[in-house]
């Protein structure tokens, strides 16, 4: 995709959201809580407020994901071009090209840190950092946990892998990628055989039953992005939302909602943040009206945002564990130096990680498509295309049914207390 065809203002939002998440964790790792601050200056209050919005930034990610991914599903269905194989290839190549290397990197970094200070990885610093492993949910490195995370089952039936707490949201994203196409195909693909649409509905209902309640609530926020995509393709609405009034008012409402959500001044704060950003978002679509380094910088931060989000936590945990060993600073010279240094190191490593892996997503995607095409060609030489189509649907259905049965049994154990309940950080 060329830069001129991108929603460049959303690039800035996506990059800024990733930076907020990283900055929030960095501040927790090196600075005392706001209650322990000696200086209560206006600057200190603003700094602590800004670096405490990392959870709200994840809600913005959900809306953006709904817009781009959910919108692509609706667009493909409307043009009668949607296929499960192409969709799964696009989504899995995007996720696995970053996730699997990130899991190995987490294993490496945590292995180094746990040899230096093993108690930190068993939860010794949880109260200090307000995140990370705890005594009730220490870091888990089992082979089962690794593969649960590979298949996006962290926080569903297993913990996140190692210290990589931010992986909780990746599981949420994946299951939204599964749930929404099932819903859209059941409701919108009128030329699909009724029995197939019934299967979609059954699978959708079963998944909604077995997946965690918190994940499904987050799906409503993700759906706000789909709604934005739908209305932004209506010419009259698009013209109305592009004015400066919508931009200023929408931005103001979004900022107020972020503050109100952070200060617990509103019910359902995550939903409020999602709705307010979705209302502002139509005015942000399209390209910037200027050129320069600002545009390139926002583009670069957007490009590395996924890699940055998924690897920064174990990097920061290792550095602070090895060199600070639980020591926290005031908002003073040393605290600022450590804060900036931790962010800078994470950015540099994330940029290198992006270049090594995420930037080569198209290579993996092409390989997967070629492999699937060869498989189809092989089957078509033996069987009719109709049989192959039926076989693929039966295979997908069997896989999802087996997963649902397995998940129900695991959920029953969770409810009964036989298994520890996953604890996303």
- pLDDT, tens digit, for every residue of 361-402? 999 888 888 888 877 777 666 554 444 445 555 555 656 666
For 326-337, how does the pLDDT look when each residue is reduced to its tens digit (9 = 90+)? 999 999 999 999
Of 20-29, 195-204, 229-238, the range with the lowest mean pLDDT is: 229-238
Q: Within a domain: residue 136?
A: yes
Tell me the C-alpha distance between 276 and 268, whole Å: 12
Tell me how many domains the chain contains.
1
For 74-98, how does the pLDDT look when each residue is reduced to its tens digit (9 = 90+)? 999 999 899 999 999 999 999 999 9
Listed residue (179, 206, 184) closest to 197, CA to CA: 184
**Amino acid 419: pLDDT:** 37
Does residue 415 or residue 91 have the better pLDDT?
91
Average the pLDDT over 242-264 and give the result: 90
**Amino acid 194: pLDDT:** 84
Of 141-155, 178-192, 200-214, 411-425, the range with the lowest mean pLDDT is: 411-425
Per the DSSP assignment, residues forming a β-bridge with 158 are 154
- 295 pLDDT band, cuts 50/70/90, is confident
Q: Which two tokens stand for residue 174?
A: 């994946």
DSSP secondary-structure letter at 282?
G
Predicted TM-score of the model (pTM): 0.87
Per the DSSP assignment, residues forming a β-bridge with 154 are 158
Q: Which two tokens stand for residue 300?
A: 């670069």
Are 297 and 339 spatial neighbours (Cβ–Cβ below 8 Å)? no
Per the DSSP assignment, residues forming a β-bridge with 31 are 329
Listed residue (363, 307, 306, 303) closest to 6, CA to CA: 303
8: domain range? 3-242+285-416
The contacts of residue 380 (CB under 8 Å, 6+ apart) are 388
- 339 pLDDT band, cuts 50/70/90, is very high
Q: Within a domain: residue 405?
A: yes
**Amino acid 9: pLDDT:** 86
Q: Within a domain: residue 272?
A: no
CB count in 10 Å sphere of residue 384: 10
The contacts of residue 269 (CB under 8 Å, 6+ apart) are 56, 260, 261, 262
| Long-range Cβ contact pairs of 323-327 (< 8 A, separation 24 or more) | 324/29, 324/30, 325/117, 325/120, 326/120, 326/124, 326/125, 326/128
Four-point Cα dihedral 131, 158, 180, 182, nearest 10 = 180
Are 129 and 404 spatial neighbours (Cβ–Cβ below 8 Å)? no
Q: Within a domain: residue 277?
A: no
Are 131 and 160 spatial neighbours (Cβ–Cβ below 8 Å)? no
- 19 pLDDT band, cuts 50/70/90, is very high
Task: Name the burial class of residue 160, with classes exposed (0-12), middle (13-18) and buried (19+) by CB atoms within 10 angstroms of its CB.
Answer: buried
Residue 46 pLDDT greater than 60, yes or no: yes
**Amino acid 414: pLDDT:** 46
Q: Within a domain: residue 107?
A: yes
For 340-361, how does the pLDDT look when each residue is reduced to its tens digit (9 = 90+)? 999 999 999 999 999 999 999 9
CA 400 from chain center: how many Å? 22
Listed residue (173, 155, 166) closest to 66, CA to CA: 173
Are 36 and 326 spatial neighbours (Cβ–Cβ below 8 Å)? no
Q: For the chain, what percent of residues have pLDDT higher than 70?
A: 86
**Amino acid 3: pLDDT:** 39
Are 236 and 213 spatial neighbours (Cβ–Cβ below 8 Å)? no
């Amino acid at each position: 995709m060329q830069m001129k065809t991108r929603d460049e203002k959303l690039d800035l939002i996506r990059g800024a959201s990733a930076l907020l998440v990283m900055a929030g964790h960095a501040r927790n790792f090196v600075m005392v809580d706001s209650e322990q601050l000696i200086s209560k200056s206006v600057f200190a209050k603003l700094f602590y407020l800004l670096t405490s919005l990392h959870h709200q930034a994840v809600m913005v990610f959900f809306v953006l994901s709904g817009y781009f991914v959910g919108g692509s599903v609706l667009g493909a269905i409307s043009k009668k071009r949607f296929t499960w194989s192409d969709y799964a290839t696009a989504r899995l190549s995007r996720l696995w090209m970053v996730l699997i290397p990130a899991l190995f990197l987490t294993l490496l970094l945590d292995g180094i840190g746990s040899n230096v200070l093993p108690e930190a990885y068993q939860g010794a610093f949880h109260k200090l950092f307000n995140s990370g492993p705890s005594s009730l949910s220490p870091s888990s490195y089992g082979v089962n946990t690794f593969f649960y995370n590979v298949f996006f089952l962290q926080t569903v039936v297993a913990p996140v892998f190692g210290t990589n707490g931010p992986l909780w949201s990746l599981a949420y994203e994946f299951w939204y990628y599964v749930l929404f196409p099932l819903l859209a195909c059941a409701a919108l693909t009128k030329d699909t055989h009724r029995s197939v649409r019934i299967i979609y509905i059954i699978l959708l209902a079963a998944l909604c039953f077995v997946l965690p309640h918190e994940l499904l609530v987050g799906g409503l926020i993700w759906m706000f992005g789909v709604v934005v995509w739908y209305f932004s393709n209506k010419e009259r609405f698009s013209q109305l939302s592009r004015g400066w009034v919508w931009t200023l008012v929408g931005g103001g409402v979004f900022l107020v909602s972020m503050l109100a959500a952070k200060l617990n001044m509103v019910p359902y704060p995550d939903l409020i943040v999602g709705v307010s950003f979705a209302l502002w978002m139509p005015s942000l679509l399209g390209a910037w009206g200027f050129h320069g380094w600002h545009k390139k910088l926002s583009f670069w931060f957007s490009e590395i945002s996924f890699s940055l989000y998924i690897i920064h936590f174990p990097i920061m945990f290792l550095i602070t564990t090895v060199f600070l060993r639980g020591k926290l600073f005031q908002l003073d010279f040393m605290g600022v130096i450590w804060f900036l240094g931790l962010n800078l190191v994470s950015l540099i490593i994330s940029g290198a990680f992006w270049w090594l892996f995420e930037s080569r997503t198209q290579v993996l995607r092409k390989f997967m498509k070629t492999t699937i095409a060869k498989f189809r060609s092989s089957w078509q030489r033996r069987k009719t295309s109709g049989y192959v189509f039926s076989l693929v649907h039966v295979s997908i259905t069997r896989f999802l049914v087996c997963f649902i049965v397995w998940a129900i049994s695991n959920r029953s154990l969770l409810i009964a207390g036989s298994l520890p309940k996953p604890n996303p950080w």
